[in-house]
A and B are shown apart, each in its own frame.
Chain A
């Protein structure tokens, strides 16, 4: 277990193992995204209240769920980099930020587009939507803060602290629909009681959520590989890759 943990800190090992993981995970992710999207868009039954606009759920919910999960990944990586000074955790934190920002952007945009036929407006300053917007700014904050520092060690520490402080926003996002009066509907998928959706609609949604988790993993690993190459530009293992 500890040997594996120590190996995680080695850039050449991480580069090699991530390549092997991606060779399997990337085609699987693309297949799941295609199957889930076709299933949800063409074969799932229409919602009796919202009509076909409900099909936006197959992109909006997975993007939102994984945008939140991505923040956990970024914050945990930040905590590991602060506590154990593990460079690979700092790389993971830095690389998770743009992926999370892109998914949060997709969540906000798809939500806004869904809002027009459902609520009659693209945007309301609702608790759930506003807290998601704050999440987007937190991701952007980490990206910008890292670029702002010339000393990358100090940049890593500042970003780790920012991502940990931003964790306060996560339970607010989850509970916003319960704590405040909101236009946004409550959670569709529940683990403690029966889901609000029929299984014929729920199954493609669960597949899309799984696909988006895999997409996040693939994007994170691809970003990390690119970052490891840049950081190790003068090392023999990167030079070796160029020769091969």
Chain B
């Protein structure tokens, strides 16, 4: 590569790592999630409730 090999091949290595990461990480995350469900692990809550319990209790008619 006429002295440019270190630049070219370092870009190739980084590109391979980024491309592999983009494909492998989400696929592995999904597989682990399904495996966790199969083993009966409780799913983590996704979001805090948008309405607080006190607000529900204080609502008219409650």
Distance A231 CA – B47 CA, assembled complex (angstroms): 9
Q: Number of residue pairs across A and B with beta carbons under 8 Å?
A: 101
Question: Which residues of chain A have C-beta atoms less than 8 A from B48's C-beta?
Answer: 150-151
Question: Which residues of chain B have C-beta atoms less than 8 A from A178's C-beta?
Answer: none
Question: Which residues of chain A have C-beta atoms less than 8 A from B54's C-beta?
Answer: none
Known A63-B15, A106-B14, A106-B18: A234·B50 in contact at CB below 8 Å: no
Contact between A59 and B37 (Cβ–Cβ < 8 Å)?
A: no
Question: Which residues of chain A have C-beta atoms less than 8 A from B50's C-beta?
Answer: 151, 153
- How many whole Å from B41's CB to the nearest CB in chain A? 10
Say what secondary structure dominates the interface of chain A: helix
Contact between B18 and A105 (Cβ–Cβ < 8 Å)?
A: yes
Known A110-B11, A152-B46, A231-B46: A243·B19 in contact at CB below 8 Å: no
Which A-chain residue is minimally distant from B32 (CB atoms)?
A226
- How many whole Å from A220's CB to the nearest CB in chain B? 9
Question: Which residues of chain B have C-beta atoms less than 8 A from A229's C-beta?
Answer: 30, 33-34
Distance A153 CA – B47 CA, assembled complex (angstroms): 9
**Which of A63, A233, A234 has the most CB atoms of chain B within a 10 A radius of its CB?**
A233
Distance A113 CA – B26 CA, assembled complex (angstroms): 28
Q: Is A31 an interface residue (CB 8 A)?
A: no
- How many whole Å from A114's CB to the nearest CB in chain B? 7
Contact between A102 and B7 (Cβ–Cβ < 8 Å)?
A: no
In B12-40, which residues have CB < 8 Å from any A CB?
12, 14-15, 18-19, 21-23, 26-27, 29-30, 33-34, 37-38
Question: Which residues of chain A have C-beta atoms less than 8 A from B12's C-beta?
Answer: 37, 41, 59
Tier of interface size on chain A: 35 or more
Question: Which residues of chain A have C-beta atoms less than 8 A from B10's C-beta?
Answer: 113
Distance A63 CA – B26 CA, assembled complex (angstroms): 19
Contact between B30 and A222 (Cβ–Cβ < 8 Å)?
A: yes
Q: Is A225 an interface residue (CB 8 A)?
A: yes
Contact between B46 and A230 (Cβ–Cβ < 8 Å)?
A: yes
Question: Which residues of chain A have C-beta atoms less than 8 A from B47's C-beta?
Answer: 150-153
Q: Is A218 an interface residue (CB 8 A)?
A: yes
Distance A223 CA – B24 CA, assembled complex (angstroms): 10
Q: Is B53 an interface residue (CB 8 A)?
A: no
Q: Is A1 an interface residue (CB 8 A)?
A: no
Distance A219 CA – B29 CA, assembled complex (angstroms): 13
Contact between A215 and B43 (Cβ–Cβ < 8 Å)?
A: no
Q: Of A47-55, A74-82, A182-190, A193-201, which binds chain B?
A: A47-55
Which A-chain residue is minimally distant from B45 (CB atoms)?
A233
Q: List 13 A-B contacts (CB under 8 A).
A: A51-B2, A52-B1, A53-B7, A56-B7, A60-B11, A113-B10, A150-B47, A218-B22, A219-B26, A223-B26, A231-B46, A233-B46, A239-B37
